[in-house]
Structure 1
Amino acid sequence: MLERHEDHRSDKDVMTSTVLITGCSSGFGRRAVTRFLSERWNVVATLRDPARWSGERSERLQLCAADVRDENSVAAAVATATERFGRLDVVVNNAGIGLFSVFETTPMAAIEEVFDTNVYGPMRVIRAALPVFTRQGGGRIVNVSSGTATVPMPFQAVYSASKGALYNLSEALTHELAARNVGVTVVEPGFVPGTEFFATTYARFESLPTPEAYQPLVQATLGSYSTTPPPGYRATEEEVAAAVFDAATDRTGRLRRRVGRDSENLGRARGQDDTGYEAWRREFFTG
């Protein structure tokens, strides 16, 4: 059995480490930049348009134009990290897009865009970073997935499929890369309301066709997102950023970090045997 990766860097090393974070124009990515900077890390923050950056400025922050859908753009971002700071210790694959839609009428172009960003994008970043990690003797990959990778939700068939693919990629890589001292961790937030990501996802939904037959379930599903859960049930952007930082500095080889009690509950449900999970799934989606 392959051993889990353990991070043996000293506290001094951690303070001078460099992280590259994708998708930093808003949300989790922007919050993660702030968290890493507060911990005295060097940060390369990628976004398609650096002019959109509205976070803090620092001599330890390098903004970099990059699109994870473009292999050359990704390679240039990784090169920027090593040229500016001399090394690259962690990559955080945070860039992603959501999709809430009826699968039957979702255009293939929209499906391909989701997979190109949420699955192939992280693959491009990882492949660009691995030669750097090999030269340095190790590194860490943090992939931001979703609670829907554990329990897929209605009208998120494509999004859930992409995040499930990212999780499976990550788990497989923990074995492949262990001997090269490269660790892989997945962060799985639950639903985080009030974010630009959710607003953009909803706007995309409104632009796609929704057949009348699906309307009752669509409205019921959307209504579930607007309910007010108990305090602390849903994660905040800051909590997700904290989980990303914890994953980047992990010393235990832990594969998965769930953020938010909703994501934790999905994990517990999925941890049942098939009979127990089937009973939970029927009650959760029809109760």
Structure 2
Amino acid sequence: MTRTVLVTGASSGLGHRTAQKFLAEGWNVVATLRDPAQWSGEQSDRLLVQTLDIRDEASVAAAMTAATARFGRLDVVINNAGIGLFSVFEATPHTVIEDLFDTNVYGPMRLIRAALPVFEGQGGGRIVNVTSNGATVPLPLQAAYGASKAALTTFSEALAYELASRNVQVKVVEPGFMATTNFFAATYKRFETIPAPEAYLPFVQKQLAAFDVQPPAGYFATEDEVAATVLTAATDHSDLFRFRIGGDTLDGARARQQSDAEYDAWRNTRFMTD
């Protein structure tokens, strides 16, 4: 029996590559995006390109109905859609933060709630939520973004306990920076619309300068590598909950395994500026 996966945020970047990865592996794929005209991948009788705005419950319900009507079942939901935010918190309008959480946290919650009756009706399923290394190690100028991804991670872990008895597994994929996507460019464009107060400018300039420091080749994961990790999480039957990928993510995870004093010394050396 051919398995079916629904991928959110499939218009570009990781979501697009993930949808293509599953399609190449022989899955039925429901590639969802706000504007189906933006789909630029191959066409297939195993592919449904479907409108979905995860901020809108009616849109979520319609996508779920379309997916099951087309393929008869749904085995995996991948919550990939999300937005970044790089800004000084004090200067960030609350409406911007609300939109961030509506997309990064409440959106996955809406989709999961819509998928659960389908999973329960067929005897089980799988949820894979894409978070961020910022959920493990909060990063400068990403307080709100890191909070949204940490919320999604914590929600996912707690939900995994609830759904285990329903034969629904929950996994989290935690990538770091992906230089091969336009996620940072889109995030930086949003940053330019939220001017930093003058008092923060020295700090902001030092943080921006840090982006110019190039790590060793292969340190950051590519979208292909992260898409492969998402596929692994979607097909893994072990008790492993979190799938980390990328040198920056792994460095942060190792730092977190130290004592509190050692971790604080590490993060202060790495991120704090005078």
Contact 2:180 2:222 in 1 (8 A): no
Per the alignment, in what secondary structure is the counterpart of residue 63 of structure 1? strand
Gaps of 5+ in 2: none
Name 1:6's counterpart in structure 2.
Answer: none
User: Structure 1-normalised TM-score?
Assistant: 0.93
Of structures 1 and 2, the one with the larger relative CO (CA 8 A, separation 6+) is 1
Per the alignment, in what secondary structure is the counterpart of residue 257 of structure 1? strand
The superposition leaves residues 178-222 of structure 1 with CA deviations (integer Å, 9 ceiling, x where unpaired) of 011110111111111242211111110001121111112212212
1:179 aligns with 2:165: yes
Per the alignment, in what secondary structure is the counterpart of residue 86 of structure 2? coil
Q: 1:41 deviation in Å?
A: 0.1
1:45 aligns with 2:34: no
1:121 aligns with 2:107: yes
Name 1:154's counterpart in structure 2.
Answer: 140
Q: 1:286 deviation in Å?
A: 3.4
Name 2:184's counterpart in structure 1.
Answer: 198
Per the alignment, in what secondary structure is the counterpart of residue 92 of structure 1? strand
Name 1:226's counterpart in structure 2.
Answer: 212
1:15-30 map, 5 Å? 16-30=2-16
1:69 to 50, 55, 60: 55
1:103 aligns with 2:89: yes
Contact 2:128 2:173 in 1 (8 A): yes
Name 1:260's counterpart in structure 2.
Answer: 246
Q: 1:96 deviation in Å?
A: 0.2
My pick for the range that moved more, 210-219 or 174-183, is 210-219
Name 1:216's counterpart in structure 2.
Answer: 202
Contact 1:114 1:162 in 2 (8 A): yes
Per the alignment, in what secondary structure is the counterpart of residue 50 of structure 2? strand
1:133 aligns with 2:119: yes
Gaps of 5+ in 1: 1-12
The superposition leaves residues 82-118 of structure 1 with CA deviations (integer Å, 9 ceiling, x where unpaired) of 1000000000000000000110010011000000000
2:226 to 240, 257, 262: 240
Name 2:74's counterpart in structure 1.
Answer: 88
Name 2:21's counterpart in structure 1.
Answer: 35
1:273 aligns with 2:253: no
Contact 1:183 1:253 in 2 (8 A): no
The count of aligned residue pairs is 273
The superposition leaves residues 213-243 of structure 1 with CA deviations (integer Å, 9 ceiling, x where unpaired) of 1112212212222321111110001011001
1:250 aligns with 2:224: no
Per the alignment, in what secondary structure is the counterpart of residue 240 of structure 2? coil
The alignment yields a C-alpha RMSD, in angstroms, of 1.0
